[in-house]
Structure 1
Amino acid sequence: MATIKRRYVFFADLRGSTALYETLGNAHATSVVTDVIRNLARRVPECGGQLVKTLGDGLMAVFPRAINAVTAAVQMQDDLERQPAPNSDSERPTPRVQLQIAISAGEVVEVGGDCFGDAVNVAARLLDHAGDSESLIGREVYDELPWEVRSRFRHLDKVHLRGRVEPAEVFLLARSKGSDTEVTHLESPSATHDALGVLLSWRGQPHRFLRDRMPVLLGRGAACGMKVEDARVSRTHARIDLMGGALQLTDLSINGTFVRFAGDDEVLSLRRGSCTLHGQGELGLGGSPNDASVATLRFSLIAHNDPPPPPFPPASAPWHHR
């Protein structure tokens, strides 16, 4: 018999398991991934939730309250961070897996131990936007948290979720006190922003992303607003967020994101790091823009009261000094 209840839907997914299989082999990697998911799943009943199912290298759960779901997210991230990397017979270093978590709220239909409904779909789509070791929640989840827990979250403005017309407000959980993602006051969604958006170009094709389409994901995945098909580009490679009046670029990839600003010879390397974008420049996905074989995007910020940005210069006329 089907029952309808308001629940907090929780999805967790391991990133990096593909590299683990390549390094450890199928049997060893399967054992490692299974053990990791089993250990993480124990946190669900401990935090008052119900494990719905495991999904290979991920899991789905539901919780009765927002604070229960967020507590489970924090504990799972901490558990995985403390876990040592598995041993390998190979001389290659064993890659560490990272955890992505997404939580949404709403009515779900429970049938035969499984759950269905819009909240389930939203959580699954929200997971597409989470980077390594990131936990994302929707506005309804955030609104039902105690104020001291809310201060651990950073507002990411509105996100366009795949298959949905209306954008969703999303918040990112800071990993620990003192981390560079921690905030004490959240921005108001209606605050005035200096940056209107960004113009990105790859292979001569420009794409305009205004702030109502932020954040924008860069990568090979279907959820990415800026799709870049290249072997060195991760499924979700990088993200551009609107933070106050600035655009922030965050690397989410395996091979790194590299930034060169117009008129500057220096290349900034981001490996799970962030930087503020300004003016114009180039983004190398998976390698330096100095390497002609790397997938390199041109970017140009769009600001209030700016005239329309000039067309991107041809690849034969790069911005940096020779």
Structure 2
Amino acid sequence: MVNAGGPLGTPARESNGTGMDMSHQTSQLVILFADISQSTRLFEIQGDVQARQIIGRALEMLSRVTDAHGGRVIKTIGDEVMVTFPDVDKAVEAACEMHRVIRQDLMFSWVNLAIRVGLHFGEVLVENGDVYGDAVNVAAKVVSMAQADQVLTTRSTIDSLSAPETLVWRPLGQARIPGKKQPVELVEVIWQEDTANLTKPLRLDSIPDLEAPVKLVISYRGREIELNQHRPSLYLGRDPHNDLVITEALVSRKHAHIEFRQGKFLLVDHSTNGTYVYVGDDRFFVHREEILLHDEGKICPGQDAPEDSRVALHYRCIQKQESKTSKANE
């Protein structure tokens, strides 16, 4: 990891060794860190020379993305690059593009290379081409909490965008940053595709008054599976050991599972490509998190294809009242 540039509270003026004070320039900038995920394992598998060439090529590509979006490379150390942007919108665009260029490169796909990106917008001290201060420390901590294929930032950075409503993102809760009295609210930016029309995922507490379902019925290619308190979970993916096997290429081996928890059914995604969930007229994208299933709709693992019977699962939640009516009619 790149050194964040010294402790918090770095003075705005310091001696230059001649007894005269040297002023720092203060600027509002986005600080972005991008590093190679699991680079140690890359060295173990590929060897020092080959791994260093792969990482060097990746960092060069990240630097080109930075330049193309009006940013500036501050430094590269080991498997990480630290860059700055004067424009928040361009910084977020660059963060997403960094992931895309890495994932689209054939060489990197062979070694399953991935990066993680963390960024934060705030005031920094600029001196001799380097940057220091609280915003740098926050950005460094944010990237340390990111996982492979993630763009993490802070809610304050999202709020600084010119049109945050056009970006697909989801809140991840608060995190403690060393040296800061108050926790920082973290946000994940969804970059995997053009998701301008997607709705942010539902949380368990975002629909407080739903009646608890008695069961959930999954329909897929003529097969029906019923989940209830006696059979509370179902696992789906390409792996033949799953309860529901879906062999499409964009479906992960262990893609997702549905579970009955606290009187509600939730879908939990574990995949590379995410899962699309349709509830009525709303469309949700879930990637390595969970979503509450209610009423009825469709689940599309790996790709947005609600009309493709090879991929789309139909689900229906059966409520208590509906279940009682069905029994009375029998």
Is TM more than 0.5 here?
yes
Corresponding residue number in structure 2 for 1:43: 65
CA distance in 1, matches of 2:25, 2:190: 35
The 3-state SS of whatever aligns with 2:81 is strand
Corresponding residue number in structure 1 for 2:166: 151
Conservation of the 8 A alpha-carbon contact between 1:104 and 1:123: yes
What is the CA-CA distance between 1:177 and the residue it aligns to?
3.9
Corresponding residue number in structure 2 for 1:64: 86
Conservation of the 8 A alpha-carbon contact between 1:19 and 1:95: no
The 3-state SS of whatever aligns with 1:159 is strand
Are the structure 2 counterparts of residues 124 and 183 from structure 1 closer, same or farther at C-alpha, using a change threshold of 3 Å?
farther
What is the CA-CA distance between 1:75 and the residue it aligns to?
1.7
What is the CA-CA distance between 1:279 and the residue it aligns to?
2.6
Corresponding residue number in structure 2 for 1:171: 187
Corresponding residue number in structure 2 for 1:21: 43
Are the structure 2 counterparts of residues 58 and 263 from structure 1 closer, same or farther at C-alpha, using a change threshold of 3 Å?
same
CA distance in 2, matches of 1:141, 1:65: 11
Bigger Rg over Cα = 2
Conservation of the 8 A alpha-carbon contact between 1:43 and 1:76: yes
Q: Which letter maps to 2:183?
A: P
CA distance in 1, matches of 2:69, 2:186: 23
CA distance in 1, matches of 2:254, 2:30: 29
The 3-state SS of whatever aligns with 2:182 is coil
Conservation of the 8 A alpha-carbon contact between 1:159 and 1:169: yes
1:161 aligned onto 2:176 = yes
The 3-state SS of whatever aligns with 2:146 is coil
CA distance in 1, matches of 2:235, 2:257: 12
Corresponding residue number in structure 1 for 2:56: 34
The 3-state SS of whatever aligns with 2:73 is strand
Q: After TM superposition, which residue ranges in structure 1, 4 or more long, deviate above 4 angstroms?
A: 182-189, 191-194, 261-278
CA distance in 2, matches of 1:264, 1:17: 39
Are the structure 2 counterparts of residues 156 and 57 from structure 1 closer, same or farther at C-alpha, using a change threshold of 3 Å?
same
Give the 5 Å matches for 1:131-142: 131-142=147-158
User: For each residue in 1:165-211, what CA deviation from the matched residue of structure 2 results, as whole angstroms up to 9, or x when unmatched?
Assistant: 422222222124466xx77455899x7575xxxxxxxxxxxxxxxxx
CA distance in 2, matches of 1:129, 1:274: 23
Give the 5 Å matches for 1:88-103: 94-103=110-119
The 3-state SS of whatever aligns with 2:157 is helix
User: For each residue in 1:136-165, what CA deviation from the matched residue of structure 2 results, as whole angstroms up to 9, or x when unmatched?
Assistant: 121222112233x54333222422134244
Conservation of the 8 A alpha-carbon contact between 2:32 and 2:120: yes
What is the CA-CA distance between 1:72 and the residue it aligns to?
1.1
The 3-state SS of whatever aligns with 2:145 is coil
Give identity over the alignment, percent. Answer: 24
Alignment root-mean-square deviation, CA? 3.4
Q: Which runs of 5 or more structure 2 residues have no equivalent in the other structure?
A: 1-21, 209-228, 238-251, 263-267, 271-330
CA distance in 2, matches of 1:272, 1:11: 30
Q: Which runs of 5 or more structure 1 residues have no equivalent in the other structure?
A: 87-92, 195-260, 286-322
What is the CA-CA distance between 1:277 and the residue it aligns to?
5.7
User: For each residue in 1:112-141, what CA deviation from the matched residue of structure 2 results, as whole angstroms up to 9, or x when unmatched?
Assistant: 221111111111111122222111121222
Are the structure 2 counterparts of residues 85 and 111 from structure 1 closer, same or farther at C-alpha, using a change threshold of 3 Å?
same
1:128 aligned onto 2:110 = no
Are the structure 2 counterparts of residues 47 and 178 from structure 1 closer, same or farther at C-alpha, using a change threshold of 3 Å?
closer
Corresponding residue number in structure 1 for 2:127: 111
Q: Which letter maps to 1:57?
A: D
What is the CA-CA distance between 1:41 and the residue it aligns to?
0.9
Conservation of the 8 A alpha-carbon contact between 1:152 and 1:184: no
The alignment covers a number of residue pairs equal to 207
CA distance in 1, matches of 2:117, 2:169: 15
Corresponding residue number in structure 1 for 2:320: none
Are the structure 2 counterparts of residues 176 and 266 from structure 1 closer, same or farther at C-alpha, using a change threshold of 3 Å?
closer
Are the structure 2 counterparts of residues 73 and 24 from structure 1 closer, same or farther at C-alpha, using a change threshold of 3 Å?
same
The 3-state SS of whatever aligns with 1:96 is coil
